Structure 1
Amino acid sequence: MALSKNESSLDDIKITPPQEEVGSKDQIPLCVPGQTKTSAARVLTEEELDRLSGERALVSDFKQMKLEKEAQKNWDLFYKRNTTNFFKDRHWTTREFEELKACREFESQRLVLLEAGCGVGNCIFPLLEDDLNIFVYACDFSPRAVEFVKKNPLYCPERCCAFQCDLTTDDLRANVPEGSVDVVTLIFVLSAVHPDKMKLALQNISRVLKPGGIVLFRDYGLYDHAMLRFKGSSKLGENFYVRQDGTRSYFFSKEFLAELFEETGFQSVANDYVLRETVNKKEGLCVPRVFLQSKFTKPGQSDSS
């Protein structure tokens, strides 16, 4: 749920936005001075260390099973409440991931992309506008989100195929030909999956990715402000929390992510923390944001033999 006009603190940013960029008209004014890439995790203050060390009790097994069972319903309710107004369009993807332009073997090659966890299309529609020689498969856990994608005036079946999919249970090959995808984007998606099922999602993605194809990843990083602001009653497991609306979020260390991809058969190309400060000038608040930005490739036939 987005912040109301009367809310003036950053407290709810810790539990509400499932992604890093919010676009609600009611959102408090923020400015982002810049970001830094680093291989080292953010160093915590003593106060932050004390806060994390005090988190011992976990949400009950019964509630955790209920959250897993109702995960799709909770995401669908999120999009029912916020429709297409919550997140900003991601015009930064081609800047951060040059592969979206540079991975073609020749200039006129049609790039085939899979946006895994497309939401309402904040990533795919800027790409479709910017690059006329691209075809996008777009899937999301939420049927309501997929309907918003299909209703967008920019949606064109000749250039985009949107479908509902649970990456952990539904075979992507029902909608995407095996080994047909050049690039997969996983942007603020895997964090919403239970850690025990993340490998299933990556195995599913690997089946439709070409040998030599690449996965572009950006998601919540370890010790992000959102992680540190969760209350103790929200903890589901190590680095795993539930928001007030029932959606969940995992916060990745680069070591965990590298192991996850490598055990699923991928090779690491880049794997860095992105550090930046989000400033609320009106309130004089500055909070540290931490994301993990990574690239993994599926070995070619000659590499895996």
Structure 2
Amino acid sequence: MEPLLSVDEGSKENMHVPEQTETPVPRTLTQQELDRLGAEQTLVSNFKLMKLEQEAQKNWDLFYKRNTTNFFKDRHWTTREFEELKACREFESQKLVLLEAGCGGGNCIFPLLEEDLNIFVYACDFSPRAVDFVKQNPLYCPERCCAFQCDLTKDDLRTNVPEGSVDVITLIFVLSAIHPDKMKMALQNISRVLKPGGMVLFRDYGLYDHAMLRFKAGNKLGENFYVRQDGTRSYFFSKEFLAEIFEDQGFQTITNDYVLRETVNKKEGLCVPRVFLQSKFTKPCVSGSS
């Protein structure tokens, strides 16, 4: 049986995390892994595909109902991995306006708000329950944070965020949960609220990640796209596909690399190869680029 969510760097597991390696090429698969991927060509029916799309919000809301805010660790690594959260300021006391698209229960935004007093965060999530958890956090303060429910593929962000007002947008393990056909709509949406010259900081599942290789028959929705036991979905990105969908929406690629590492669970005697894609994109300072 598939786990509720595959273990990633954010989930609370008894794991030791060694140093990571950034590389422009994906992980090399063993012959056994190649054979397994080659054998998994059967896709779910169109009926199930449509049903999963229709129930996507419900499935994520149920995920947060079951797990509340206990599944993911607070992401204190964000400023380490994305120095732009500090470096993009023109002067030290400048207030940074950030949008976290797909905020979950606030595991990224609250460490940022604690660490940086000159930051205002817009935070949205597909799940109304996740947004409620953010608002219930003792650190939530309307003067420094505005949380709201939003489907990035159809709800105009400008209803809650002024157009062209955001310095930095984070997309951290978010785009993978969206159907590949709708990813460009989500990117169009975030582009409208990003300032010219603003930055998108991206981290998500990469091609041939351990989680991708664990899916069993009956879980494949499309190329690199799978469904978990709980109905939530996950796409595994190649750097070429990611660059293509961002550049099609007018963004420029700054960096775009695979992050490879092995997560070791000493208690269980497991060594798990993880692959993430970590990338940075900018909105050009050109009139009409949105």
Cα offset for 1:19?
A: 5.2
Aligned to 2:210: 225
Aligned AA (1:252): F
* Equivalent residue for 2:115, pick from 130, 134, 140: 130
For the pair 1:268 / 2:257, whether they are aligned, the reply is no
Question: What SS does structure 2 have at the residue aligned with 1:105?
Answer: coil
Q: Does 1:211 align with 2:234?
A: no
Quote the sequence identity (%). Answer: 82
- Unaligned 5+ segments in structure 1 are 1-10
Contact 2:105 2:131 in 1 (8 A): yes
Q: What TM-score do the two structures reach when normalised by structure 1?
A: 0.93
What CA distance in whole angstroms lies between the structure 2 residues aligned with 1:210 and 1:288? Answer: 37
The separation in 2 between residues aligned to 1:18 and 1:41, in whole angstroms, is 19
Tell me the amino acid that sits aligned with residue 282 of structure 2: T
Structure 2 match to 1:155: 140
Give yes or no for contact 2:6–2:211 (8 Å, CA) kept in 1.
Answer: no
Residue pairs, 1:289-304, within 5 angstroms: 289-301=274-286
Q: Compute the TM-score of the two structures, normalised by the length of structure 2.
A: 0.97
In the alignment, the residues of structure 2 paired with residue 188 and residue 168 of structure 1 have an alpha-carbon distance, to the nearest angstrom, of 16
Please list the CA deviations of residues 192-226 of structure 1 after superposition, one character each: whole Å capped at 9, or x if unmatched.
00000000000000000000000000000000000
CA deviation vs aligned residue, 1:26-76 (integer Å, no higher than 9, x gap): x4x210111000001111000000000001110111011000000000000
Q: Counterpart amino acid of 1:58?
A: L
Do structure 1's residue 16 and structure 2's residue 5 form an aligned pair? yes
Task: Give the SS at the match of 1:217.
Answer: strand
Give the superposition deviation at 1:18: 7.9
Aligned counterpart, 1:74? 59
SS of structure 2 residue aligned to 1:233: coil
Q: What are the residue-to-residue correspondences of 1:128-207 with 2, within 5 Å?
A: 128-207=113-192
Q: Is the 8 A contact 2:259 2:275 kept in 1?
A: yes
Q: CA deviation at 1:20?
A: 3.6
**Structure 1 residues 99 and 303, CA, compared in 2 at 3 Å: closer, same or farther?**
farther
Alpha-carbon separation, structure 1, partners of 2:288 and 2:48: 44
Q: CA deviation at 1:12?
A: 4.4
Rounded to whole Å, the distance in 2 between the matches of 1:107 and 1:61 is: 52
Coordinate RMSD, CA, aligned = 1.3
Structure 2 unpaired stretches of 5+: none
Contact (CA 8 Å) 1:72, 1:141: kept in 2 or not?
Answer: yes
| Number of aligned residues | 289
